[in-house]
Chains A and B, each alone.
Chain A
Amino acid sequence: MTSRAPLLARLDSPRVLGYLLITPAAIILLGLLAYPLLLGIWLSLTTATIGKTGEFVGLQNYATIFADPIFRGAALFSVFYTVCAEFGKLLLGLTLALLLNQRFRGYRISRALMLLPWVAPTVLSALAWLWLLDPQFSALSWLLIRLHLIHSNIDFLGSGWGARFSLIVVNIWRGLPYFAIGYLAGLQGISKDLYEAAAIDGADGWQAFRRITWPLLLPITTILVAFSSIFTLTDFQLIWTITHGGPTDATQVFTTLAYQRAISGGQLGEGAAIAVSPIVFMVILAYFVVRSVREK
């Protein structure tokens, strides 16, 4: 053995090697995630603009945005959008999972196809939705007219509430496969014996669902909803592609407004305050995620 042996041996000790192996991840995550997170909070307390560091002004940016009806509207719609979309994803995702959980011909291909909205790049599918929701040439309007459900084209994105509900539907479209797969995994983990015992006791399908399936799916529900809420609350791609926050700020959310104020408008301090403000909700959601994951 050469003199390198002791050095190598020392490098190979769990302690030294352990720290060595986590160094690359630590550099990336401390430098480009933890530091920006703190810098963002700092920026929100300053008058920084693009190219200027600005000066410390305390909570002034927060006072400004909370007095701003556009911000209040954006905060309200962010929460409304998240609550409605999560509810829709939960309901439809669970329904789809219950359907897929029955063994039938074409099970694998159905399951594979159902995940496509989650796999495809959101901006690109959002463009397809934008075209499907076109005021003049919408294929959806055409279909509804043919089915005699409506008389003339719907201007889906022209009115505030039309645009809001359209975005919620598209968000449900994108997120429900994730819920379906999560629930499917949950359903497959439930022992068949429970249902057999329930059947012997004379329980019908709905009773079995309420007393067995749903309680056993609750932990997964917490994880799915909390997790998905974090990313729905800070959604950007869908809303920016389809409405840009319009018409007249009706579909503005935290993220789109932060982007407009900070990047398009150059007001980094104010933008950072808007971007940071959903953290209150996120901490609550993160608490639920961490707690559920720990329990597992």
Chain B
Amino acid sequence: MLRLLKIYVPLALFGVFLLLPFLWMLLTTFKSNQELLNTPNPFWVFHGTFSHVTDLLTQTAYLQWFGNTLFVAVASTVLSVFVSYITAYAIIRLRFPGSEVVSTAIFLAYIVPPAILFIPLATIIIQLHWFDKLWALVPIYATFLVPFCTWLLIGFLKNIPRELEEAARVDGASNIAILWRIIFPIAVPGLISAAIFSFTLSWNEYLYALVFMSSSGNKTVSVGMTSELIRGDVFQWGQLMAGALIGVLPAILVYFFFVEYYVAGLSGSVKE
């Protein structure tokens, strides 16, 4: 009984606070427009409907935005994890002159927020003729993914015992062979951690996509929803929440598949 009061009641309060917006998306998605404005109890669906979902998928460019977000998230994740792995390997294992400086510079790069960079980046993007080109988001997202993943992988590679590669070196393996054949397979859990964080961070990105993409066909889910589904003062809440729900799902699915990697990665980022 005491346990119930001391653990489960406060935990339930946290649960309500933290999960409320998701519950709200779910309920709103399946309510008819009339029920959204007039209901005896907003926390229940009395007349369920799929019309918001079907309208969203057939009458707006939502599917296109969803595909765009997926493309950018996957491509920037692949690029960033690859680049970060070879960078982290070089810093930790090769110890070339200046590797300490590089490692500090990468950490500093990690704490430069996009909010400081988006204005000068906009002028660079225009000069490079990258404006309104979806793939341009891939190298741009790498600017915050590479520092994060490299930092995470440095922590991970540090803990791999050196004996393994020394044995391989005695057998005449080159550094490149060690990078790919010996360390890579052991580093897989670290690489998965880096990849899921990258995917989540890219899926979440808003400012760069908002500033650098302009035509509807190149927008991501977050940008498309806020710039095209919200028009004037009339909010189509059913459609908006359906879009939010579907847009949240990929991040949540990836998360639930790899939840232990998330927790380990987050805890590690604090401890390292």
A residues contacting B by CB (< 8 A) are: 8-9, 11-12, 14-15, 17-19, 21-22, 24-25, 28-29, 32-37, 39-40, 42-43, 48, 92, 95-96, 99-100, 102, 104, 110-117, 119-125, 127-129, 131-132, 137, 139, 142-143, 173, 176-178, 181-182, 184-186, 189, 220, 223-224, 227, 230-231, 234-237, 240-241, 254-255, 258-259, 262-263, 268, 271-272, 275-276, 278-279, 282, 285-286, 289-290, 293, 296
Contact = CB atoms under 8 A, between A and B. Distances in A.
Interface of B: 3, 7-8, 10-11, 14-15, 17-22, 24-25, 28, 36-37, 42-43, 83-84, 86-87, 89-91, 94-97, 99, 102, 104-109, 111-124, 139-140, 142-143, 146-147, 150, 174-176, 179, 200, 203-204, 206-207, 211, 221-222, 225-226, 235, 237, 240-241, 243-244, 247-248, 251-252, 255-256, 259, 262-263, 266-267, 270-272
A116 B204 CA distance: 13
Q: Interface residues of B: mostly helix, strand, loop or mixed? A: helix
For the complex of A and B, list the 8 residue pairs with the smallest distance between their C-beta atoms, beginning with the closest.
Answer: A18-B96, A185-B267, A234-B115, A128-B21, A39-B120, A123-B222, A21-B90, A18-B94
A237 B206 contact: yes
Nearest to A179: B270
A196 B263 CA distance: 28
B18 A125 contact: no
B130 to A, nearest CB: 10
Given A19-B96, A113-B15, A131-B241, A39 B123 contact: yes
B247 A178 contact: no
A116 B94 CA distance: 38
Contact of B251 (A8, A17, A119, A173): A119
Contacts of A139: 24, 42-43
A32 B24 contact: no
A37 B84 contact: no
Given A17-B175, A115-B255, A185-B267, A124 B120 contact: no
Contacts of A268: 119, 122-123
Nearest to B91: A22
Contact of B25 (A11, A128, A184, A278): A128
B119 A272 contact: yes
